[in-house]
Amino acid sequence: MSVNKEIKKITTNTVQKMKSAGEKISMITAYDFSFARIFDAAGIDIILVGDSASNVMAGHETTLPITLDQMIYHAQSVVRGVERCLVVVDLPFGSYQGNSKEALNSAIRIMKETGGHAVKMEGGEEIVESVKRIISTGVPVMGHLGLTPQSIYKFGTYTVRAREDEEAQKLKRDALLLQEAGCFAIVLEKIPAALAKQVTESLHIPTIGIGGGPHCDGQVLVMHDMLGINTEFKPRFLRQYLNMHEQITGAVQRYIGDVKSGDFPNEKEQY
Ligand code: KIV
């Protein structure tokens, strides 16, 4: 039997079953082949090719500038590194808000050109028609509520969303609408843990939290934040598992020192 046949691929059904079984879902962002390969082999359930690529890969202040073509490039690279986990790709700002036909065309480009398994879209009631149209063609959709970074200029701040009752009620309604529309999961970003708990308990599809507290069915972090590549961004919800910034700086400084001193390359490191 070939190795590939033994690999148990994670699908949208798998994550649904994980919720039913009470097994937490792990999700992390990735934007390139090499990291995707490491995360997949490490056993992650879902890789999100997030439009946070706009920030952490391209250095933009917001997620708004990244284009559909750029997301497709990142997703293609990630998919080439993955054997078993589910790959979800963000539809970027401006590629789906116009109308449901535009949304469908963007989702189809992602699926055809990248080999990704699902798309993610930010918003509730406003995008439900587009969500339904995409799902009707067989493309799985992950929703995203709470702090939706593509709307940062409407919010004006990255602080916790839905603390007030009116916004919390809308978020609960939106979550149910997205579930009815056929979403297979919903990201809940930066909302009070008690609200995330209520939403999670009201849905049969999984919720994936980022700053949504412990009651979500899964958690997602941006790889550059959890690996400590970024040093400036330290929100309360972040757990940093490595300090890669320090480790990489040290390694590169040792390399520079070895080059300058003539220690590198040595006799064994030449032909
Ligand atoms: O783009 C992204 O990385 C995201 C996560 C923050 C959920 O949408």
Look at ligand 1, atom 6, and give the residue with the nearest C-alpha.
Answer: 222
Backbone φ, ψ for residue 46 (5° rounding): -135, 135
DSSP assignment of the chain: --HHHH-----HHHHHHHHHHT--EEEEE--SHHHHHHHHHHT-SEEEE-TTHHHHTT--SSSTT--HHHHHHHHHHHHHT-SSSEEEEEPPTTSSSS-HHHHHHHHHHHHHHH--SEEEEEBSGGGHHHHHHHHHTT--EEEEEES-GGGHHHH-S-SPP--SHHHHHHHHHHHHHHHHHT-SEEEEES--HHHHHHHHHH-SS-EEEESS-TTSSEEEE-HHHHTTS-SS---TT------HHHHHHHHHHHHHHHHHHT-SS-GGG--
CA within 13 Å, CB half, 13 = 2
* 251, amino acid identity: A
In the reported structure, the alpha carbon of residue 122 is separated from the centroid of ligand 1 by a whole-number distance in angstroms of: 10
The pTM of this model reads 0.96
Give the residue extent of every domain in the chain.
12-243
Query: Mind listing the pLDDT tens digit of every residue in the chain (271 residues)?
Result: 455 557 899 999 999 999 999 999 999 999 999 999 999 999 999 999 999 999 999 999 999 999 999 999 999 999 999 999 999 999 999 999 999 999 999 999 999 999 999 999 999 999 999 999 999 999 999 999 999 999 999 999 999 999 999 999 999 999 999 999 999 999 999 999 999 999 999 999 999 999 999 999 999 999 999 999 998 899 999 999 999 999 999 999 999 999 999 999 999 999 9
* 252, amino acid identity: V
Look at ligand 1, atom 1, and give the residue with the nearest C-alpha.
Answer: 50
CA 208 to chain centre: 10
Establish whether residue 51 lines the binding site of ligand 1, counting it when its CB lies within 6 angstroms of any ligand atom: yes
- The number of the ligand 1 atom at minimal distance from the alpha carbon of 220 is 7
Q: What 3-state class would DSSP assign to 182? A: coil
- The number of the ligand 1 atom at minimal distance from the alpha carbon of 50 is 1
- The number of the ligand 1 atom at minimal distance from the alpha carbon of 208 is 7
In CATH terms, 12-243 corresponds, of 3.40.50.300, 3.30.70.260, 3.40.50.150, 3.20.20.60, to 3.20.20.60
Backbone φ, ψ for residue 90 (5° rounding): -70, 135
Establish whether residue 90 lines the binding site of ligand 1, counting it when its CB lies within 6 angstroms of any ligand atom: yes
Cα 46 to Cα 154: distance, rounded to the nearest angstrom: 29
